[in-house]
Structure 1
Amino acid sequence: MWDNIINYFSTLEQHPLQRMAILVGGLLLFWIIEGAIPLLPLRYKKNKLRHAAVNFGFTVIHLIIHTFLAILIVMLSDWCREQDFGMVYWFNANVAGAIVIGVLALDFSSWLVHLVMHKVPLLWRFHLIHHSDNNVDVTTGLRHHPGDSLLRGIFFLLLIFVSGAPMYSVMIYQTLVVLATAFTHANISLPKRVDKALSYFLVSPNMHKVHHHWVQPYTDSNYGAVFSIWDHLFRTFTTLDPKKIRYGLDKYYPNEKDEDFMALMKRPFQKLKE
């Protein structure tokens, strides 16, 4: 079993069509589900397809950036293996251990970079584009300004360096985070007990929707990507009744511009309105 897992995920980086199929498949699956069991009534500026087109514009740029970053990811992971550098090698971990260490380290990188972007004003300028979406649905998950995407890539590389994550561990995590991002942003209504039970260990839809609430301190909470353990551990976990959630921003950016692609691209380079 482990041989099959290692062989598949070790070479997944070399099969962009398979990776794209996972991304598109996850989006389509939760697009259908959110249409069947919506959490909140969303009010798009024009319609859902127009809203999706804006977010897909950012998605395409995000994927281009990470295609180039993938070269560095492979080189760094291979270097760690050759030099026996990183926690995987320091602890002499077996395959299962390498997967656990790599996945947890990379998920921590997602939590940490997210926290940093909220706390550093210059970086928040780029990340607020993600939060400016007034209608959070499955397409919001990859709505990241290029500056946001680059910073995520830097932190990802940093935690590969620290953990020594082998490529199969890296690709397992990237597969998990793609599916988790679609799941947690999708406008789906789960039974409250199910959502709450999930939130003890995984980031649940309701948990992440709190992060998209338009006012602080709710915006500055629930930073997790796949696992909720970091928010519980560092006390950044917050709950809010989904019925009280309102998306968008109470300052910094005019909410009526949340589907203006060019304005969103330019916004990080303009003075913020308090």
Structure 2
Amino acid sequence: MMESVVAYFSTLEQRPVERMALLVGGLIFFWIIEGAIPLFQLKYRKTKFSHALVNFGFTVIHLIIHTALAVLIVLLSDWCRSAGFGLVYWLHANVAGTIAIGVLALDFSSWLVHWSMHQQPYLWRYHLIHHSDNKVDVTTGLRHHPGDSLLRGVFFLLLIFVSGAPMYSVMIYQTLVVITTAFTHANIRLPKKLDKWLSYVLISPNMHKVHHHWKQPYTDSNYGAVFSIWDRLLGTYKELDPSKIRYGLDRYYDNEKDEDFLSLMKDPFIKKQQRQDTALIQPGKKSPST
């Protein structure tokens, strides 16, 4: 069984059509589910499809960037294996241990880069594009500015270097994160007890929706991608009843332009004095209205 898992994921990066099918299949699946059991009755500016087109524009760019980074990921993972460098080799981990170390290390990279973008004003300029979506649904999951996508790639490479994760461990994590990203952003209503129990181990839909609340300190919480362990251990876990959640931003970006693709692309490069908020981008500070 374990040998079959390793064999399948060891070569998955060589099958881009299959990987794309996982991504598209997840999006379609949760698109259907959120239509059947929506958390909120979202009132889109035009239609759900037009909203999706904006987010798909960012998704395409995100996929192009990470496809290019895949070359570096393979090279680095192979170098770690040949040099015996990284936690999995230093600890002489077996296959199960290697998968666990690799998956947890890469999930920590997702938490760490996310936390960093909320703490560092310049990096927040890029990440706020994700938070500017006023209608969070399954298509929001890969709504990342190219600068955001590049930074995620850098942190991903860093934790491969530290962990020594082989390609099968990398591909297992990437498969997990594609599915959970669609799941946690989807506009779906789970029974509260089920969502709560899931959140003890995984990032649940309600847990991640708290992160998309328009005001701090809730925006600066629940940074995890797959597992909730990092937020619970590092003190960034917060709860908020879904009925109190409002999407978007209370500053930094005009909520009326959350579907203006060109404005969203240009926004990180706008000079400080051109922004309406004179406090500019300091995600760790509260605005006067909070």
TM-score normalised per structure 2: 0.94
For 1:145-156, list aligned pairs within 5 A: 145-156=145-156
**Match for residue 251 of structure 1?**
251
- Report whether the alignment pairs 1:166 with 2:166: yes
**Match for residue 273 of structure 1?**
276
Q: Distance in 1 between matches of 2:242 and 2:16?
A: 37
Q: Distance in 1 between matches of 2:193 and 2:2?
A: 34
**Match for residue 7 of structure 2?**
7
**Match for residue 16 of structure 1?**
16
**Match for residue 212 of structure 2?**
212
- Report whether the alignment pairs 1:101 with 2:108: no
Q: Distance in 2 between matches of 1:43 and 1:114?
A: 28
Q: Distance in 2 between matches of 1:2 and 1:228?
A: 25
Q: CA RMSD in A?
A: 0.5
**Match for residue 287 of structure 2?**
none
**Match for residue 191 of structure 1?**
191
**Match for residue 179 of structure 2?**
179
For 1:78-157, list aligned pairs within 5 A: 78-157=78-157
Q: CA deviation at 1:260?
A: 0.4
Displacement over 6 Å in runs of 4+: none
Q: Distance in 2 between matches of 1:43 and 1:239?
A: 25
Q: Secondary structure at the match of 1:17?
A: helix
**Match for residue 26 of structure 1?**
26
Q: Secondary structure at the match of 1:136?
A: coil
Q: Distance in 2 between matches of 1:226 and 1:239?
A: 17
Q: Distance in 2 between matches of 1:53 and 1:196?
A: 32
Aligned pair count reads: 274
The percentage of aligned residue pairs carrying the same residue is: 77
Q: CA deviation at 1:41?
A: 1.6
Q: CA deviation at 1:2?
A: 1.4
The amino acid that maps onto 2:38 is: P
- Report whether the alignment pairs 1:235 with 2:235: yes
Q: Distance in 2 between matches of 1:144 and 1:62?
A: 7
Q: Secondary structure at the match of 2:11?
A: helix
Q: CA deviation at 1:173?
A: 0.0
- 1:150-170 per-residue CA deviation (whole Å, 9 max, x = no partner) reads 000000000000000000000
**Match for residue 68 of structure 1?**
68
Q: Distance in 2 between matches of 1:34 and 1:84?
A: 45
The amino acid that maps onto 1:174 is: Q
Q: Distance in 2 between matches of 1:206 and 1:195?
A: 7
Moved more, 69-78 or 39-48: 39-48
Q: Distance in 1 between matches of 2:182 and 2:28?
A: 9
Q: CA deviation at 1:273?
A: 3.5
Q: Distance in 1 between matches of 2:184 and 2:228?
A: 12
Structure 1: tracts of 5 or more residues without a match:
none
TM-score normalised per structure 1: 0.99
Q: CA deviation at 1:3?
A: 1.4
- 1:108-142 per-residue CA deviation (whole Å, 9 max, x = no partner) reads 00000000000000000000000000000000000
Q: CA deviation at 1:234?
A: 0.4
